[in-house]
Amino acid sequence: MNNRSDCDILDVMKKPHPSQTREETTSLRREAIFQAALCCFVEKGFHQASMRDIAALAGVSVGNVYNHFPSKEVLIAEIAALEMRELAPLLLALERATPLSGLLKFARDYTALSSEPGSVMLSSEVIAESARNPVLAGLFADNHRNLVAALRRTLQAGMQAGEIDPALPADTTAALVLDAIEGHALRAVLFASKKVQRKRTEDELGLLLRKLLQP
């Protein structure tokens, strides 16, 4: 997710092509509204961004926004679904790779996905909003549990294959690995502004995970 300066919402919602069905046009409009909402949330935060702001950026009426998303809470719930869709290819690659190499590649790929400035800002908004709204907190907690479960299965497979230290508690280690990746992504954005320095910290994360996980 990029920040608003990189969002080209008007290109998303083009004039309907004569060959498009009504369902296709509706789907394009819904996607334009959602992308506009992401941009507004990153720029202004959930509470400061209004449905009118979202409508203006998407180039639709406020009523059209409400037709697709009855509230900002529904939009935020859609972000949770988007998060898992973006993670799906990473989790599939993790499942298909050999355990240790798969974990290290997942760490690199998830760091890259999480360390976009817009992603960091949006994640901060999600955390703050989840603290206020238990229902939304549950949606993002489900995503976290899915990630931890995938990492746990990979760790257990690695232990059986002799690639990962069998003395490590799989559940706790999976959660700690995820915390390390997410914390590293945040630090990469906030403190490692130079590309070379970010690459060095990524290499250091890989080295740390190797030292932690190998027998």
- Which pLDDT value is given to residue 214? 92
pTM attached to this predicted model = 0.78
The third-level CATH classification (topology) of the domain covering 4-68 is: Arc Repressor Mutant, subunit A (1.10.10)
- CA angle 2–6–11, rounded 5-degree value: 110
Q: Identical fold at 4-68 and 79-213?
A: no
Residue-range domain boundaries for the chain: 4-68, 79-213
- Which pLDDT value is given to residue 72? 86
Write down the CATH superfamily of domain 79-213: Tetracycline Repressor, domain 2 (1.10.357.10)
Which stretches in the chain have pLDDT values below 70?
Answer: 1-20, 189, 191-202
- Which pLDDT value is given to residue 14? 45
Q: Are 37 and 75 in contact (CB under 8 A)?
A: yes
- Which pLDDT value is given to residue 23? 78
Long-range contacts of 42-50 (CB under 8 A, 24+ apart): 42/1, 42/3, 42/4, 42/118, 42/121, 42/122, 42/125, 43/3, 43/4, 45/125, 46/72, 46/76, 46/125, 46/128, 46/129
